[in-house]
Amino acid sequence: MRVPVSWLRSLLPGLTAPVQDLSAALIRAGFEVEGVHRVGEDVSGVVVGRVLDVEELTGFKKPIRFCHVDVGARVHEVVCGAQNFAVGDLVPFAVPGAVLPGDFRIAARQTYGHTSDGMICSAAELGLPGDPSGILVLADRDLGLDAGLELGRDVVAALGLRDIVLDVAVGYDRGYCLSMRGLAREVATAFGLTYDDPGLVTDQHALGGSASDGGCEGQPGQRGHRVRVEDGCDRFVLATVTGLDPSAPSPTWLQRRLVLAGMRPISLAVDVTNHVMLELGQPLHAYDAATVTGPIVVRRATTGERLTTLDGTDRALTVADLVIADDSGPIGLAGVMGGLATEITAGTRDVLVEAARFDPVLIARGARRHRLPSEASKRFERGVDPGLAPVAAHAAADLLVRLGGAVVGPVTDVDRRVEAPSITLSVGFSGRVAGRAYAPEVVIARLQDVGCDVNGTDPLQVRPPSWRPDLTGTSELAEEVIRLEGYETLPVVLPPAPAGRGLSAERRLRRTASRALAAAGLVEVTTPPFVGAQVLQAIGGGTTAPALVNPLSAEESLMRPSLLPGLLKALDRNVRRGLADVAVFETGHVFLGAGSTASSPGVVGAPTDAERAALDAALPDQPSYAGLVLCGAGASWDRAVETVLLLGRALGVMLEVRAGAAGAFHPGRCAQVLHHGTSVGLAGELHPRVVTALGLPARTCAAEVDLDALVAAAVAGGEVKAPRVSSYPPATVDVALVVDMPTPAALVEAALRNGAGELLEELHLFDVYTGPQVGEGRRSLAYALRLRAPDRTLTDVEVLGARDAAVAEAGARTGAVLRS
Partner 1 sequence: MTVPAASPHPDDPLDAVRDAALATVAEAVTLEILLRDRAGLLGDKSPLLLARRALGQLPAAERKEAGQRVNAALTEVSSAYEQKKDVLETERDARVLVEEAVDVTVLRQSLPHGARHPLTTVIERAADVFVAMGWEVAEGPELEHAWFNFDALNIPAHHPAREEQDTLWIEPEGSGLLLRTQTSPVQIRTLLERGAPCYVVAPGRVFRNDSLDATHSPVFAQLEGLCVDEGITMAHLRGTLQAFSSAMYGEGLATRLRPSYFPFTEPSAELDVQCFRCRGSVELQPCRVCSDEGWIEGGGCGMVNPAVLRACGVDPDRYSGFAFGMGLDRAVMVRHEVADIRDLYEGDVRFSSAFGSGV
593 φ, ψ to 5°? 85, 160
Q: How far is the CB of 513 from partner 1 (least distance, A)?
A: 11
Residues 740-799 that bind partner 1 (CB under 8 A): none
What burial letters (b/e) apply to 356-385, b meaning 16+ CB within 10 Å? bbbbbebbbbbbeebebebebbbbbbbbbb
- H/E stretch holding 624: strand 624-631
Q: Which of 527, 700, 780, 814 binds partner 1 (CB under 8 A)?
A: 527
Q: What is the DSSP letter of 427?
A: T
Site track for partner 1 across 560-579, x = CB under 8 A: ------xx-xxx-xx--x-x
Cβ(210)–Cβ(313) under 8 Å? no
Question: How far apart, in Å, are the Cα atoms of 818 and each of 746, 761, 767, 779, 815?
Answer: 17, 21, 14, 11, 10
Interface with partner 1, residue 433, by CB under 8 A: yes
Residues 457-486 that bind partner 1 (CB under 8 A): 473, 475-476, 478-479, 482-483
Q: How far is the CB of 365 from partner 1 (least distance, A)?
A: 6
Residues 252-281 that bind partner 1 (CB under 8 A): none
d(CA 285, CA 355): 7
Kindly state the greatest CA–CA separation across the chain.
Answer: 124
Interface with partner 1, residue 700, by CB under 8 A: no
Q: How far is the CB of 38 from partner 1 (least distance, A)?
A: 17
Q: For partner 1, which stretch binds (CB under 8 A), given 69-77, 325-333, 512-520, 746-754?
A: 512-520
Residues 19-58 that bind partner 1 (CB under 8 A): 27-30, 32
CA angle 653, 659, 660 (to 5 degrees): 90
Interface with partner 1, residue 490, by CB under 8 A: yes
Which among 349, 345, 335 is positioned nearest to 400, based on CA atoms? 349
Beta-carbon contacts of residue 611 (< 8 Å; ≥ 6 apart) = 601
Q: Which of 519, 580, 613, 812 binds partner 1 (CB under 8 A)?
A: 519
DSSP state letters, 308-327: EBTTS-EEE--TT-EEEEET
Q: How far is the CB of 794 from partner 1 (least distance, A)?
A: 37
- H/E stretch holding 787: strand 778-787
Interface with partner 1, residue 487, by CB under 8 A: yes
Nearer to partner 1, 107 or 619 (CB): 619
Residues 304-363 that bind partner 1 (CB under 8 A): 360-361
Q: What is the DSSP letter of 575?
A: H
Residues 371-390 that bind partner 1 (CB under 8 A): 381-382
Q: Which amino acid is at 578?
A: G
Which among 568, 555, 561 is positioned nearest to 525, based on CA atoms? 568
What burial letters (b/e) apply to 47-79, b meaning 16+ CB within 10 Å? bbbbbeebeeeeeeeeebbbbbbbbeeeebebb
Residues 165-194 that bind partner 1 (CB under 8 A): 171-174
Say whether the peptide bond before residue 601 is cis (omega within 30 degrees of 0): no
Residues 579-638 that bind partner 1 (CB under 8 A): 579, 582-584, 586, 588-589, 591, 594-601, 603-607, 612, 615, 618-620, 622, 634
DSSP state letters, 107-137: --EEETTEEE-SEEPBTGGGT-SS-SSSB--
Kindly state the number of chain residues that form the binding site for partner 1, as judged by CB under 8 A: 107
Nearer to partner 1, 707 or 785 (CB): 707
Site track for partner 1 across 628-667, x = CB under 8 A: ------x---------------------------------
- H/E stretch holding 708: helix 707-716
Nearer to partner 1, 7 or 591 (CB): 591
Q: Which of 194, 214, 497, 791 binds partner 1 (CB under 8 A)?
A: 497
Nearer to partner 1, 105 or 573 (CB): 573
Distance, C-alpha 1 to centroid of its chain: 19
268-280 and 252-260 helices cross at what angle (nearest 10)?
A: 50
Nearer to partner 1, 154 or 611 (CB): 611
Q: For partner 1, which stretch binds (CB under 8 A), given 83-91, 108-116, 498-506, 653-661?
A: 498-506
CB atoms closer than 10 angstroms to residue 27: 13
Q: Which of 550, 721, 777, 796 binds partner 1 (CB under 8 A)?
A: 550
Residues 137-156 that bind partner 1 (CB under 8 A): none
Nearer to partner 1, 38 or 368 (CB): 368
Nearer to partner 1, 441 or 488 (CB): 488
Q: How far is the CB of 530 from partner 1 (least distance, A)?
A: 8
Q: How far is the CB of 490 from partner 1 (least distance, A)?
A: 5
